[in-house]
Each structure stands twice: as structure tokens, then as C-alpha cells.
Structure 1
């Protein structure tokens, strides 16, 4: 489901969060900050969305259950859309990625996380946007 117009920042973000309460809070925060949002609960819809269009950011829960998972989405995005910044979220933080893996350098936020921590991770790309571009 897509929401938001080209807001203050106009940056696009794919949000994948299986917990409805966490997803609503996250989406509300991102809308207030002017992001163009595509949201997904999990699975195939988010992977199809990532294939169909570029995003400035992908914020994905890596604790999905089912056929595919947030790690698979993150690996695809880092390989196929290297310009996108991927931010992982997890309730457990028991994930281990080999040092030579594309996943090793990705930021992981422990849920529940503070909005300020997410904002800190979102700011590097925002700082590169040239007003009026």
C-alpha cells in the first residue's frame, strides 16, 4: 500500500514490518517526516515492490516467518540496488552475518527502537538531497 505525496524530503522508503502496531507507529513517524512510503507486512509483496521500483531506503524486519525473509530482501536490495540504504530491525538480534557478507555492514535496530535512532540512520541520505532537485 502506497502513501504520502512528495513531502518535505521526497525520499522514498519501503517499510516491511510484520507487527501491525510497530508498523503503524513507524509509518506515522515517516509520514510526518515527508517520506514517500510503500509498506508491506512481509513476503512476496515487498520483494516484488523492490524489483519494480527503486527506493532511497528499505527498512525491513528480518524476523519474518515463511518462504522468504527480511534477510533475503536485504541481500537482494544490496546486490541489485546498491544506491538504496538498507536498515534492518529485529526483536532478537541473534542474527550473525559473516564479515565478508554484504549483510555484515548493514545497521540493525533492536525492536522496540527509539525514533531518534532510526532518524540518525535516515539522515545520511537526507543530507545529500539538494533542495529543488
Structure 2
């Protein structure tokens, strides 16, 4: 039996964060959550992730783009999913390898991106 997929959800909208966490936990994934980039960095110090889902714009000095760059530098095999309500052309360049998800998104769009990592050997 393989270890559960480790997912870090970083989202400042409580309802969305809780919904996504509940769905992933129901599928047997190890889910940790944070409401801003600084909290996410603290979690990553002791709990590496296989999948990072992060809003791009969050409170505080650490953006989702900063977080994505950190995860991809320290764990290149991780899947990074960045989300925003702004169209992609209005955003700064995303780190190479990051996937973009336009808000509002459907749950199945999110799950497809997460499941792609689950199917990839880590």
C-alpha cells in the first residue's frame, strides 16, 4: 500500500478551503491547510507536499507565486496548482511547471489536476 498523497491547500476563503480539504480527505489524502503564504511556509518546514494548491493573491507578503517557486525549488516532483479570480493575462508570470486554475472553477477541474499527481510516481 502506498503512502497517501500529501496536499497543502493555501486559500484565504475559509469555505472554499474547507470544502476542498473535506473532499481530498474523503479520498484518503493527507491534507494540511493554511490561510496565507507565511503559514504555508511554516507547514512546509516539517511537512513536504506532493501537491500544492494555492490562491495567487493572499494576505501578507508571501504570494501563491512565491510559494509555488519555493515548492518547485525544494521538491521538483511536486504538482503546483495556482488559482486566481483574475484572468491569467493579468497575472505575473507563473513558475515553470505550475498549473493555472481560473476561479470560479468546478470541483472536477480541481480534482483532475490533483489526480494527475496521484497517478504519477513520486
Which structure has the larger Rg over C-alpha atoms? 1
1:123 corresponds to 2:119: no
Output the TM-score relative to the length of structure 2: 0.86
| Structure-2 separation of matches of 1:92 and 1:77 | 22
Structure 1 segments (4+ residues) deviating >3 Å: none
Equivalent pair of 1:58/1:85 in contact (CA under 8 Å)? yes
2:106 maps to which residue?
A: 114
Partner residue, 1:70: 64
Unaligned runs of 5+ in 1: 1-7
Within 2, Cα distance between the matches of 1:38 and 1:69?
Answer: 18
Query: Which of 40, 47, 53 is the equivalent residue of 2:41?
Result: 47
What's the counterpart of residue 4 of structure 1?
Answer: none
Greater helix fraction, Structure 1 or Structure 2: 2
Structure 2's unaligned 5+ residue stretches are none
Could you report, residue by residue, the CA deviation over 1:3-47 in whole angstroms, capped at 9, with x for unpaired residues?
Answer: xxxxx9711100000011111211121122211011001131101
| 1:12 corresponds to | 6
